[in-house]
A and B are shown apart, each in its own frame.
Chain A
Amino acid sequence: AQTVTQSQPEMSVQEAETVTLSCTYDTSESDYYLFWYKQPPSRQMILVIRQEAYKQQNATENRFSVNFQKAAKSFSLKISDSQLGDAAMYFCAYRRRQGAQKLVFGQGTRLTINP
Chain B
Amino acid sequence: EAEVAQSPRYKITEKSQAVAFWCDPISGHATLYWYRQILGQGPELLVQFQDESVVDDSQLPKDRFSAERLKGVDSTLKIQPAELGDSAMYLCASTEGREPYNEQFFGPGTRLTVL
Task: Please tell me which one of the listed residues A52, A99, A102, A107 contacts residue B33 in the complex, with CB atoms under 8 A apart.
Answer: A102
Q: Which residue of B lies closest to A37 (CB)?
A: B106
A28 to B100, CA, bound (A): 21
Indicate which residue in B3, B44, B108, B109 contacts A105 across the interface (CB closer than 8 Å).
B44
Q: How many A-B residue pairs have CB under 8 A?
A: 54
- A33 vs B99: C-alpha distance in the bound complex, in angstroms? 12
Total count of chain A residues near the partner, CB < 8 A? 24
> Nearest CB to that of A6 among chain B residues?
B42
Residues in A with CB closer than 8 Å to B31 are 100
Q: Chain B interface secondary structure, helix, strand, loop or mixed?
A: loop
Grouping DSSP codes into helix (H, G, I), strand (E, B) and loop, the A interface class, with mixed when no group exceeds half, is loop
CA of A72 to CA of B107 in the docked complex: distance in angstroms? 33
Chain B interface bracket (under 10, 10 to 19, 20 to 34, 35 or more): 20 to 34
Q: Which residue of A lies closest to B109 (CB)?
A: A44
Chain B, residues 1-23, CB within 8 Å of chain A (1/0): the string is 00110000000000000000000
Taking a contact as CB atoms under 8 Å apart, the answer to whether B56 and A102 are in contact is yes
B contact residues vs A (CB 8 Å cutoff): 3-4, 30-31, 33, 35, 40-45, 48, 50, 56, 91, 93, 95, 97, 100-104, 106-109
- Which A-B residue pairs are the 3 nearest by beta carbons? A105-B42, A100-B31, A45-B106
